[in-house]
């Protein structure tokens, strides 16, 4: 019985791994265009959800967000009509996500 109690105590004192998840973040618009619509979905799904911010070119906006997953796609409709998708954006531990797009239409994300 004493061994069982010691075993239970050792389990209770063992470090518990932290479970990652996506939280609030800032979107920085480095596309060169105003964002008219900004949406997000879990990576690999079809369910787009609108985000409350639509930062203009060169500006930033705050996003209140909470999800147990880390990988997401972000989609924006830019002024001028272009629909742009950043795939597999890692939002775990990200404080700020900069959405980039060059003149050839190539997209990438920078993290802070």
Task: Go through the domains of the chain in sequence order and give each one's CATH number.
Answer: 31-111 (2.60.40)
- The per-residue pLDDT for range 15-43, each reduced to its tens digit, is 434 456 899 999 999 999 999 999 999 99
Q: H/E element holding 5?
A: helix 2-13
Q: 3 and 72 in contact (C-beta within 8 Å)?
A: no
Tens of pLDDT, residue by residue over 55-95, are 999 999 999 999 999 999 999 999 999 999 999 999 998 99
pLDDT surpasses 50 at 5: no
């Amino acid at each position: 019985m004493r061994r069982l109690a010691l075993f239970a105590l050792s389990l209770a004192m063992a470090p518990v791994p932290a479970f990652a998840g996506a939280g609030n973040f800032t979107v920085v618009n480095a596309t060169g265009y105003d964002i008219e619509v900004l949406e997000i979905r879990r990576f690999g799904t079809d369910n787009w959800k609108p985000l409350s911010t639509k930062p203009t070119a060169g500006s930033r906006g705050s996003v209140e967000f909470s999800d147990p997953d880390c990988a997401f796609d972000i989609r924006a409709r830019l002024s001028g009509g272009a629909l742009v998708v950043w795939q597999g954006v890692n939002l775990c531990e990200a404080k700020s996500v900069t959405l980039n797009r060059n003149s050839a239409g190539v997209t990438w994300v920078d993290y802070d």
